[in-house]
Each structure stands twice: as structure tokens, then as C-alpha cells.
């Protein structure tokens, strides 16, 4: 029987292959060694019978490749706005597909991207959250997707670090 993490990974892999055009490979370990790259976080809040958040985390370098593929542009032409737009789109598609695993009715809110000039992002997850994480490699870069259940009304806090 597939675990929830297996189902999440299958959805992420299907969306990634279909829309991003790059292959994902699942990682077993949850520790992520720093690659020297900085990371962006795209999140989609879900409301309804299930309250929670879907968060997509990836490096700026990988996000740039995603944007170049989606916008059919050269890497050098991609701006931060196109990077943010592409991550919002991919996180929204992943969230929409994950909805089928959740109690109905559920509705997706607009996705947001955590971004700071210094690109040091912190995602605060309250202790009472139930968080499912899926970690994968794409072209030797990390992709992390989290599904966080927050029935108590809190939301993930994405903030720039000082």
C-alpha cells in the first residue's frame, strides 16, 4: 500500500515531468546539505474541510531552469518575476492535484513566493502541524514539497532572515 508521502511524490513527479520537462529522482534522506545556492519557497494555502498548506522549495538555479522551460526563454533572459510566476504556477498545479487526496470540499488560495534580496528564507512550522515531506533531486538540485495540515487555523510563516 502506498503511503501518503508516496502519493504526494507521484503527484509531484507527474506535474514536474509534464510541466517542467525535467526528471525528478526521489531522495530518502531528509537532511539537505547546502549547495551554496539560495532557495525560494512557493506556497498555496488550502481552505475548506481540510486546512493546510502546500509548499514547494527549490534553489534559485533550479527555479530559473523551470522558468526558462515554461516561458521558452534562455536562462540569461529570465527575471525574478518570471521565476516567481513559474513557481506560483507549478505550486498551484501541485496543490490542485493534491486536493484529490484531501477531504472535500477544499479550495486553493492564490500561491505566494517567499523571496528576499539576500535569498535567505526561513519557513516556520508550528509544532502542532502534521507535516508530510517529499524530497527529490532534479539535475543535482533539491526539490522539497511539504503538505502541512493546520486545522487549528495557523499558517506557515515564510520570512526573510536577518
135 and 30 Cβ atoms separated by less than 8 Å: yes
In a domain, 97, yes or no: yes
Domain that holds residue 62: 4-27+37-160
Tell me the pLDDT tens digit for each residue of 89-119: 999 999 999 998 898 999 999 998 876 544 4
* Largest distance between two CA atoms of the chain: 45
Mean pLDDT across 6-14: 91
Cell of 28: 530518502
Share of the chain above pLDDT 90, in %: 34
- Strands in the chain per DSSP E: 25-26, 39-48, 52-59, 106-108, 112-114, 121-124, 130-138, 141-149, 157-160
pLDDT for the residue numbered 131? 76
Whether residue 55 contacts residue 74, with contact meaning beta carbons closer than 8 Å, is answered with no
Grid cell, residue 60, equals: 534559485
Phi then psi for residue 41, to 5 deg, are -125, 120
Say how many domains are in the chain.
Answer: 1
Does residue 32 belong to any structural domain of this protein?
no
**Regarding predicted confidence, which is higher, 32 or 101?**
101
Indicate which CATH number applies to the domain containing 69: 3.40.1550.10
- Taking each helix axis as running N to C, give the angle between helix 4-15 and helix 80-98, from 0 to 180 degrees, rounded to the nearest 10: 130
113, 41 contact by CB (below 8 A): yes
Give me the mean pLDDT over the 59-74 stretch.
92
On whether residue 64 sits in a domain, the answer given is yes
The answer to whether position 48 is within a domain reads yes
Please tell me the predicted confidence (pLDDT) of residue 162: 37
Amino acid at each position: 500500500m502506498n503511503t501518503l508521502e508516496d502519493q504526494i511524490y507521484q503527484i509531484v513527479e507527474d506535474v514536474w515531468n509534464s510541466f517542467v520537462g525535467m526528471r525528478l529522482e526521489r531522495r530518502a534522506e531528509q537532511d539537505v546539505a547546502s549547495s551554496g545556492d539560495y532557495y525560494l519557497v512557493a506556497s498555496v494555502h488550502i481552505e475548506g474541510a481540510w486546512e493546510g498548506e502546500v509548499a514547494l522549495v527549490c534553489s534559485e538555479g533550479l527555479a530559473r531552469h523551470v522558468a526558462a522551460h515554461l516561458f521558452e526563454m534562455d536562462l540569461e533572459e529570465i527575471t525574478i518575476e518570471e521565476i516567481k510566476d513559474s513557481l506560483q504556477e507549478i505550486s498551484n498545479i501541485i496543490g490542485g492535484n493534491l486536493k484529490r487526496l484531501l477531504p472535500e470540499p477544499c479550495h486553493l488560495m492564490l500561491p505566494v513566493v517567499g523571496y528576499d534580496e539576500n535569498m535567505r528564507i526561513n519557513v516556520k512550522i508550528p509544532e502542532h502541524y502534521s507535516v508530510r515531506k517529499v524530497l527529490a533531486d532534479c539535475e543535482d538540485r533539491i526539490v522539497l514539497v511539504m503538505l502541512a495540515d493546520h486545522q487549528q487555523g495557523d499558517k506557515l510563516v515564510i520570512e526573510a532572515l536577518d
